[in-house]
Structure 1
Amino acid sequence: MPAERPTIVATSGGWTRRELGGVDWAGTAHLAVHLARVPSGRAPRLTYLGTAGGDQRAWAAEVHAAGSRAGFRTTVLDLFPMPGVADPAGQLLASDVVWVGGGSVANLLAVWRVHGLDAAFRAAWEAGVVLGGVSAGSICWFQGGTTDSFGPDLRAVTDGLGLLPYGNGVHHDSEPTRRPFVQHLVGTGVLGETHCTDDGVGLVYAGTDLVEAVTEVAGKGAYVVRRDGDGVTETRLEPRLLPR
């Protein structure tokens, strides 16, 4: 039973630190699983891609542990040094949710394209697999956004998968150069309308429509940045607070 419409949950969140060490899936990730409409009595099938971080094995162990505690049937799809499953496209299609981790969005896009996953992600999205992710795993679904993939100074990335016809800004409140750089890119026409998230906030898209902003942390915001004549406007969206 796939999602009702092609669905993306694009976030600057998804994880929470445990008092006992490690991490657990946070509210935006659990929302993605809910939107997948998994039949009762079956564990949600979640595929995680850590391509943007170089497929770190230690982090993969954290993902498996978090999935076990959440009751997810978790597969980590590595692409280094080679795909970890015989049919990566089939793995995506067999998932209820695909979640993409943070890191270098430029490297992520290049590696995905080498393996034909750009087309595979579109097919999975259109089939009702819920796509989600954090930071690089958010920007990748859009036309582009702001990235530190090339070094400590932010640059634009404009060759995202383009499933969503907007730009994307992440970590809008926690990295001080993000907000002004997004506004510069929109004002100069490098990016079109751009949707941004504070840390802990997610944006939910049905098809290409932004239908809801949600947050794991009270007081956080989401924003729509648009060019307005010779200037730029930033409109705050008040997210719905997710249960812990």
Structure 2
Amino acid sequence: MDRHILAISGGGFSEEDKAYIDEYLLKIPRKREPLKIGFLATASHDAEGYINKFYDAFQTEQPSHLTIKDLESPNIQEVVNTLDLVYVGGGNTQYMLEIWKKTNFDMVLKRAYRNGVILAGISAGAMCWFETCYSEKTDQGYEEFEGLGILKGSLCPHYNDEERRMAFDNWATTQTNRTLYTLEDNENLHFKNEQLIAKIIT
């Protein structure tokens, strides 16, 4: 069974109606019936407005969402395993990963991925799948922290932002023999079985 990850740098349903990259995502499973899509807004502290935008964008599918409280549910693995897609929203990457690891939801996602559940996400939800993240820590500047490690290397979304680009480029000089990806807000990466197969520019 093929495994897929779609890393979205910017755009998507939160910023535009019928976003091309979301349409691209829906075609990956190659199913005719409505897809079961679970949204995770952990990185934005379960922001209600963000969750509402998700439901509006995917109302013709079978949308659902998982709150931070839901991640501790005893049957969370079964719930995630029934999904076709997991869509992870943007926000504070480090906070999100800390919550996932604290609740063991990181392992839930990895097992679901191995079982064929497609993983996708924007910004924080694009960065988290990699071995290493380099991003903001609240207002204290940027720092390196561990990602989920499903994909090799590290990804910098929003590379068109000057401050982020300079910080990442400076950090990158200390990284030897590591695969580094940089994406501007209209650029996205599609990985199949942990190998990059497409760069989608929208």
> TM above 0.5, one fold?
yes
Residue in structure 1 matched with residue 27 of structure 2 by the alignment: 34
Deviations 1:158-209 (A, max 9, x none): x100000111101011x10222222222211288221111102110111121
Give yes or no for contact 1:48–1:101 (8 Å, CA) kept in 2: yes
Residue in structure 2 matched with residue 121 of structure 1 by the alignment: 109
Deviations 1:57-115 (A, max 9, x none): 222122111111xx1110011114x5496622222211111110001111101111122
Residue in structure 1 matched with residue 80 of structure 2 by the alignment: 92
- Using the TM superposition, give the Cα deviation of residue 143 of structure 1 relative to its aligned residue in structure 2, in angstroms: 1.1
TM-score (normalizing by structure 1): 0.76
Q: Give 5+ residue unaligned stretches, structure 1.
A: 217-244
1:60 aligns with 2:20: no
1:132 aligns with 2:120: yes
Number of aligned residue pairs: give it.
Answer: 202
Residue in structure 2 matched with residue 230 of structure 1 by the alignment: none
Q: What secondary structure is seen at the aligned counterpart in 1 of 2:131?
A: strand
Counterpart Cα distance in 1 of 2:51 and 2:197: 31
Which has the larger helix fraction? Answer: 2
Q: What secondary structure is seen at the aligned counterpart in 2 of 1:76?
A: strand
Residue in structure 1 matched with residue 148 of structure 2 by the alignment: 161
Which has the larger strand fraction? Answer: 1
1:212 aligns with 2:198: yes
Once the two structures are aligned, what percentage of the paired residues are identical?
22
Q: What is the identity, as a one-letter code, of the residue corresponding to 1:60? A: I
Higher relative contact order (CA 8 A, sep 6+): 2
TM-score (normalizing by structure 2): 0.90
Larger Rg: 1
Counterpart Cα distance in 2 of 1:60 and 1:145: 24
Q: Give 5+ residue unaligned stretches, structure 2.
A: none
Give yes or no for contact 2:85–2:119 (8 Å, CA) kept in 1: yes
Distance 1:92-1:16 versus aligned 2 partners, 3 A rule: closer
Question: Over aligned residues, Cα RMSD in angstroms?
Answer: 2.1
Distance 1:17-1:129 versus aligned 2 partners, 3 A rule: closer
- Using the TM superposition, give the Cα deviation of residue 29 of structure 1 relative to its aligned residue in structure 2, in angstroms: 2.3
Which residue, out of 45, 59, 74, partners 2:36? 45
Give yes or no for contact 1:93–1:124 (8 Å, CA) kept in 2: yes
Residue in structure 2 matched with residue 141 of structure 1 by the alignment: 129
